[in-house]
Amino acid sequence: MPSPKSLVALLLLALAAPVAAGSPAAPTPSEAIREAVLSSMDRTVDPCDDFYRYACGGWLDKTELPADQARWTRSFSTIAERNRELVRELLESAAADPGPAGGERQQIGDFFAACMNEAAVEKAGTTPLAGPFERIAAIADARDLMAVAGALGRDGVNALLGAGRVPDFKNPGVYLFYLSQGGLGLPDRDYYLSEDPRKRELLGQYREHVTRMLTLAGSPAAAAEAEAIVAFETGLAKASRPRSEMRDRDRLYNKLDRDGLVKLTPGLPWAAFFEGAGHPEIVSINVAVPEFFSGLEQLVAATPIETLRAYLRWHVVRERAELLPAAFVDADFAFYGRALSGQAEIQPRWKRCVDQTGRALGEAIGKLWVEREFAGNSKQVAIEMIEDIEKAFEANLPNLAWMDDATRARAVEKARKVSNKIGYPDVWRDYSALAISRGDFFANVTAADRFEADRQLAQIGRPVDRNEWLMTPHTVNAYYMSTANEIAFPAGILQPPFFHRDHPAAMNYGAIGAVMGHELTHGFDDQGRKSDGDGVLREWWEPEVAAKFEAAAACVERQFSAFEVEPGVKVDGKLTLGENIADLGGLKQAFSAYQSWKERHGAPPPFAEGLTHDQLLFVSFAQVWCTEASPEFLRRQVVTDSHSPGSFRAVGAAMNLPAFRQAFSCEEGDRMVAAPTCTVW
């Protein structure tokens, strides 16, 4: 089967292409839209039995997983690929005509050009590793170790621990420094500790991979070092909390000053760490997992200095593999891409360079992308839809029997305080202090990482920037931020098949509307509910109501934990709980908002024979999650991702909604009628 063409590109072509003289008439927009939906379905399947196959069967039959992808979706992936191609055009144009020195066009053009210059990368060889390796070689004690770890973190190489800048959970108007568990080369602690045969095999392959990479980097004792490194990382894994337990925000809040940090772990010289990171002034710290740092302290004291040096060298090579010659790039892909994720082929260099440039200068690219791609009227339509979703959420609150009046009133207050960001920032990030050259890819990435680290760490103790976005404008995603009680929808997601002003309203509400409801519901899921309307982490629920919420959430956890990816591999209902609650609430609100839309605008004309607009809404929701993925990717996803696999997202939300059963005339006993039905929001 040939690789599928981008659905988005085909749809936009059908909508925008002029009619050529003497050729058959181009499809009308309604015909093109109808064909895109119906051709993705398998209407021979009973929707009450297998709704995912009903909504996605046609797409699944004609779609082959691209060789350079581990997962491919009808929605996110097709738009992201089109956006990437457009960004490539912008970057190639900037590289060919960079404009004035120091301008953003010069920065993105030269960054991309340096990345694409494979000959220069090959010529440089391992020379760029000399600087960090020299610092590592000079480590003689724990103070040196922490100083180098801080310096490497500033330069984009995270080792030993996780660190960054976040709003204070209980004073969200101010930033503080955040310390958490980290330091692993594998995606999760389970890969080190599980007795599952596949994970044991991957651990052995990882050990071989570390050996291979250290050998490429010039180590004469790579095999012995790799053995010691894996043992050290296994110690870090044992000190780490399971990923599902990292969802408890109350347990993650442990604010300390520098004296408290030293008291917690006197064997770790924190002054050296902050000096190495270039910010000795930091004093306001949250230690997310105190027991991890107690374990790290013991592990560092018990580990030979030679092993600690080897561990840091390994993490430099791991983080920087893509910036090095082809031998490193290929070896890195062979493990992380092929073995761990099931991706058949490495992506072409231009795709990797687009992504690297985006990580370094995302908003500079986003500004150009918005000027070219984002229509202002799309923003206004999206705002109107969000307002509909918010009204639907509030209107549903009196129907929740498990809520009392006092908690319901506070929930209304929080919902009304949610702020929405649509499209792109009002204030763009200033990159003028970042020096980029056309001749040194490795140095450019390091400079960009240091620029971003310094930008963030300089904000510790200062007011939170409410204009800041956590995603670039061309990102195909959305997010809810609990400390700000805000939702953001980048311009990148406001495209077909999620959204188009010419789509039937049912399609828009089922796709982007459900995403909007999903993000709003995050403010009230098992994590979001613990912050109030101002983003403050505090208990604002009556105890008996909180207990009823937990019981309702437990129903969702049990239901999703029963979904099986493959024999013996199931979804982690606890890890994915917040996302699953958000999916259920988002779809419910989208359907309710659409009913209000129909009351205002009247019944729309028929879409297709045998498919009502209410049914179309649910089909559009499910088609967001039409997915092809490798078995390796799915096995990794259930361990590391807080989102359930797409097929279970498509059915898990719908099967709990009475509106879905009514739309498709499903009956008790059908697979798409959950028993028991889970209702949270």
- 333-350 exposure pattern, b = at least 16 Cβ within 10 A, e = fewer: bebbbbbbbbbeebbebb
Q: Is the pLDDT of residue 643 over 80?
A: yes
pLDDT in tens, 384-423: 889 999 999 999 999 998 999 999 999 999 999 999 999 9
pLDDT of residue 436: 96
440: number of Cβ within 10 Å: 19
Of 168, 322, 486, 519, which residue is the catalytic one? 519
| Average pLDDT rounded to a whole number, residues 486-492 | 94
Using alpha carbons, select from 361, 292, 371, 318 the residue that is nearest to residue 112. Answer: 361
Q: Residue 376's pLDDT is what?
A: 63
Q: How confident is the model over 544-598, as pLDDT tens digits?
A: 999 999 999 999 999 999 999 999 999 999 999 999 999 999 999 999 999 999 9
Name the token pair of 308.
Answer: 């600690």
CA 516/CA 478 separation, integer angstroms: 8
- Residue 148 in this model has a pLDDT that exceeds 70: yes
Q: Give the HSE-up count for residue 329: Cα atoms under 13 Å, Cβ half-sphere.
A: 17
**Exposed, middle or buried: residue 377 (CB in 10 Å: 0-12, 13-18, 19+)?**
exposed
Order of strands across the sheet that contains 255-256: 162-168, 171-180, 285-287, 255-256
Number of alpha helices (DSSP H) and beta strands (DSSP E) in the chain: 30, 11
pLDDT of residue 382: 82
Query: Which residue reads 């092929």 in tokens?
Result: 338
List residues bridging with 168 in a β-sheet: 171
Rounded Cα distance, 591 and 389, in Å: 9
**What tokens were used for 59?**
């797409």
Cα–Cα distances in angstroms (integers) from residue 535 to residues 170, 190, 284, 286, 353, in the given order? 8, 32, 19, 17, 37
CATH match of 126-323 with 3.40.50.2300: no
Percent of the chain with pLDDT over 70: 95
Q: What are phi and psi of 642, to 5 degrees?
A: -80, 0
Give the mean pLDDT of 249-260. Answer: 96
Question: What CA dihedral angle connects 6, 12, 18 and 19, to 10 degrees?
Answer: 60
Q: Which of 81, 319, 440, 583 is catalytic?
A: 583
CB 204 within 8 A of CB 271: no
Q: Which of 418, 431, 425, 421 is nearest to 483 (CA)?
A: 418
The CA–CA distances, whole Å, from 441 to 120, 234, 356, 452 equal 9, 33, 10, 17
Task: Indicate the DSSP class of residue 182.
Answer: -
- Is 233 marked active-site? no
Q: Please name the amino acid found at residue 405.
A: D
CB atoms within 10 A of CB 297: 17
Q: What are the backbone dihedrals phi and psi of residue 193, each rounded to the nearest 5 degrees, phi first? A: -110, -20
d(CA 69, CA 24): 36
| Helical spans, DSSP H, in 489-576 | 505-508, 514-522, 543-561
**DSSP β-bridge partners for residue 479:** 488
pLDDT at residue 375, as a whole number: 64
Q: What's the pLDDT band for 18 if we cut at 50, 70, 90?
A: very low
Q: Is the pLDDT of residue 19 over 60?
A: no
Alpha-carbon distances of 21 from 14, 27, 30, 468, rounded to whole Å: 16, 15, 22, 49
Single-letter residue type at 518 = H
pLDDT tens digits for 299-317?
A: 999 999 999 999 999 999 9
The model scores a pTM over 0.95: no
Cβ atoms of 40 and 626 within 8 Å: the answer is yes
Quick one: average pLDDT of 150-169? Answer: 97
pLDDT tens profile 122-144: 999 999 999 999 999 999 999 99
Whether pLDDT at 13 is above 60: no
Tell the residue number behind the tokens 């607009």, with chain if given: 613
Domain ranges of the chain: 97-125+324-373+432-461, 126-323
Q: Tens of pLDDT along 574-584? A: 999 999 999 99
Query: Is residue 7 pLDDT above 80, yes or no?
Result: no
Query: Rounded distance, CA 343 to CA 352, Å?
Result: 15
Query: Is it the case that residue 3 has pLDDT exceeding 60?
Result: no
Q: What is the average pLDDT score of the chain?
A: 93
**Torsion 599-605-610-616 (CA) sign:** negative
pLDDT attached to residue 208? 99
Quickly state the pLDDT bin for 28 (edges 50, 70, 90).
Answer: very low
Span 498-547, pLDDT tens digits: 988 889 999 999 999 999 999 999 999 999 999 999 999 999 999 999 99
Q: Can you tell me the distance from the alpha carbon of 650 to that of 478, in angstroms, rounded to the nearest whole number?
A: 18
DSSP 430-473: --TT----SS-HHHHHHHHHHHHHHHHHTTTTSB--TT--SS-T
Give per-residue pLDDT as tens, 425-463: 999 999 999 999 999 999 999 999 999 999 999 999 999
**CA dist., res. 316 & res. 303, Å (int):** 19
Angle (CA) 229 234 238, round 5°: 150
Rounded to an integer, what distance in angstroms lies between the CA atom of residue 525 and that of residue 506? 26
Q: Pick from 236, 223, 312, 207: which is nearest to 199 by CA?
A: 207
Which of helix, strand or coil describes residue 255?
Answer: strand
Q: Please give the backbone phi and psi of residue 345, each rounded to the nearest 5 degrees, phi first.
A: -135, 150
Between CA 426 and CA 409 the distance in angstroms is 32
Give the closest residue to 179 by CA, choosing from 243, 255, 267: 255
Tell me whether residue 583 is one of the annotated catalytic residues.
yes
Query: Tens digit of pLDDT for each residue in 62-103?
Result: 999 999 999 999 999 999 999 999 999 999 999 999 888 889
Query: 3-class SS at 541?
Result: coil
Taking residues 317-333, what's their average pLDDT?
98
